[in-house]
Chain A
Amino acid sequence: MRTGFTGSHFFLAAFSFSAVLLAQTSKQPETKKNIPNLAGIWNQSAGSSTAGVPNDDAGGVPFYGFTKQEPSLQPAALETYRANRKDLTDPRLKGRDDFDPSNSCYPPGPTRIFTSRRPFEIRQSENVVYILSETDHWVRRIYMDGRGHPDGYPSAWMGHSIGKYEGNTLVVDTADINENTWIDALGHPHSDTLHLVQRFRRLNHDTLEIEITFDDPKTYTKPWTGRKIYQLQPPGYEMKEDMICDEYRTPGLRNDGFEFIKP
């Protein structure tokens, strides 16, 4: 019948219109490529410790460092590193407090967050991977949209990071890193030309591997690579709030003028 024909046409038109609205008002999920799931809260294993100092891992990698073998430093940088560790007889110990930028309220830097007692969280969004460290609530953004490092990008505490997936690995390239941080908690220094390539790979559900290549000719005679393993935190673990130098943030700081205290 003519009416029925008109009615079904209207019905079809209405749902076509609905489909158009769907496209306009909602974000369609992108055709999902197979991206590795690295999401979770990760931390170094507490492992064993001797006299309160965490022991090296099974591969001999220090808790506070990245490699069993010492990287080869340029002469001036070697002096700096030795000063950062002067009178520390135990190679597992963190670098000296008085030379440690973290003890002067400085940010930790993009790799030192991986040599901490505190965990970090990885979250993957469409175009950005976030690495959120518990240490001082830091955020590293890894841009996944194919951009390069912009010319003239300001030097940043965490640097500027771009990344891509290669199979089951997230590969991250980081540059423009502020030089006033330590590479690790042992006290290895770096310059402002430090360039990092980091590879994140989930070995199994509970284990994340991070491999980092440090390329900094001003500081190291050749690029060197470290590899560490992290465990998924138990379900229900909540990232804690942490703020560096919280105890020194008092209203008098700028009201009455501040001073620098040598601790």
Chain B
Amino acid sequence: MRIRFIGLILVTLALLAISPSLHPQNSTKPTPDASGAIPDLSGSWSPHRPVPVTAENALCGIRTVCNDLLGQSAGPSVVKSDEIQMQPWAEEKYRAVKEGKIRDPNFAGCMPQSPVDLLVDNRRLFELRQFPDEVLLLFDQDHWVRRIYLDGRGHPDGYSSTWMGHSTGRYEGETLVVDTIGFNDKNWLDRDGHPHSDALHIVERFRRVNPKAMEYQFTVEDPKAYKKPWTGKMVEDLLPPTTEILEGTLCDEILQLGTHYSAKSNK
């Protein structure tokens, strides 16, 4: 009788352990798919800031100035990556960036930030919305949209030279795994100024680690720029549900009707 009782408890515990009721459901998905539950990654998010924005430092527009004036430190870098081995040209370019000889194309050229950059730059905000056939990433900077197709399609032949690439994805348990190709080579890969070529292939993994945080992992495979693939990790913080992402348009402060901006021709 005691054995029967213990057996009942063991069965109960086993059922609890595998119960899909413990997995978050995607609220926008009308019906679960064949494999079971979908992890809930939806919300408005921001790459983690080591020094949080508070009323004290909210007004200040330049971080280093704020830190000095308010006596705050910058905080550690939160992007963790394994060893990065660059090809010689990439090494040279990266050094030039570090020496200030090359400016960020996002500022200097009004060019978009790369998909990885947008997800590691802690000035940024983004929305992640899950639909049965695709995941949408909606960024604050320049209202950029990334579509991640979930229907098993491949990358179209000859898809190339875009800012955001072409993304396909699938859920593996708790993780959304995304595969992206089709980039141009004009911007930085990340905030650190790492270069990339148009052969860039990124694999990203999004996984909610607790109700308020998501782990973002990106693997860079770009043999033209790197001797071997490397992986970086970042934490994304969930923003309050009342967060409204305002419009932000790249370089709309330099528009003039009847003309278009252009780099000065008299070099």
By a beta-carbon cutoff of 8 Å, the part of chain A in contact with chain B is: 1, 3-4, 6-8, 10-11, 14-15, 17-19, 21-22, 25-30, 32, 39, 98-99, 101, 103-107, 123, 125-126, 130, 132, 137-139, 141, 154, 156-158, 180, 238-239, 241, 243, 245, 248-263
Q: Given A104-B259, A125-B129, A157-B247, are A256 and B267 neighbors across the interface (CB < 8 Å)? A: yes
Least CB separation from B13: chain A residue: A14
A–B complex contacts, Cβ < 8 Å, 28 sampled: A3-B2, A4-B5, A6-B5, A7-B9, A11-B8, A14-B16, A25-B22, A27-B24, A27-B26, A30-B27, A98-B258, A101-B257, A104-B260, A105-B260, A137-B143, A238-B156, A245-B261, A248-B260, A248-B261, A248-B262, A248-B263, A251-B105, A252-B267, A254-B107, A255-B108, A258-B254, A260-B262, A261-B262
Check if B62 is an interface residue, CB within 8 A of chain A: no
A-B contact sample (4 more), CB < 8 A, given A29-B25, A156-B247: A14-B12, A238-B147, A251-B105, A262-B258
What secondary structure prevails in chain A residues at the interface with B? mixed
C-beta contact mask, B101-119 vs A, less than 8 Å → 1, else 0? 0110101111110000000
Q: Given A245-B261, A251-B108, are A104 and B22 neighbors across the interface (CB < 8 Å)? A: no
Of the candidates A105, A132, A180, A238, the one having the most CB atoms from chain B within 10 angstroms of its own CB is: A105
List chain A residues, Cβ under 8 A from B23: 25-26
Task: Give bound CA distance, A162 to B264, whole Å.
Answer: 42
Number of B residues with CB within 8 Å of any CB on chain A: 66
Task: Give bound CA distance, A55 to B37, whole Å.
Answer: 49
Q: Given A123-B129, A241-B162, A259-B264, are A27 and B40 neighbors across the interface (CB < 8 Å)? A: yes
Least CB separation from A159: chain B residue: B247
List chain A residues, Cβ under 8 A from B136: 123, 130, 132
Q: A-B pairs with the 3 shortest C-beta distances?
A: A252-B263, A27-B27, A260-B259
Check if B255 is an interface residue, CB within 8 A of chain A: yes
Task: Give bound CA distance, A28 to B37, whole Å.
Answer: 12
Query: Contact: B260 with A123, CB < 8 Å?
Result: no
Q: Given A25-B23, A27-B26, A256-B263, are A158 and B145 neighbors across the interface (CB < 8 Å)? A: no
List chain B residues, Cβ under 8 A from A19: 21
Least CB separation from B39: chain A residue: A26
Check if B164 is an interface residue, CB within 8 A of chain A: yes
Query: Contact: A10 with B264, CB < 8 Å?
Result: no
Query: Contact: B262 with A258, CB < 8 Å?
Result: yes
Least CB separation from A7: chain B residue: B8
Minimal beta-carbon separation of A165 from chain B (angstroms): 16
List chain A residues, Cβ under 8 A from B259: 104, 260-263
List chain A residues, Cβ under 8 A from B28: 125-126
Task: Give bound CA distance, A263 to B259, whole Å.
Answer: 6
Least CB separation from A127: chain B residue: B241
List chain A residues, Cβ under 8 A from B35: none
Least CB separation from A156: chain B residue: B247
List chain B residues, Cβ under 8 A from A254: 103, 107-110
C-beta contact mask, B126-150 vs A, less than 8 Å → 1, else 0? 0001010000101000111101010
Query: Contact: B27 with A106, CB < 8 Å?
Result: no
List chain B residues, Cβ under 8 A from A29: 25, 27, 30
Query: Contact: A107 with B246, CB < 8 Å?
Result: no
List chain A residues, Cβ under 8 A from B145: 132, 137, 139
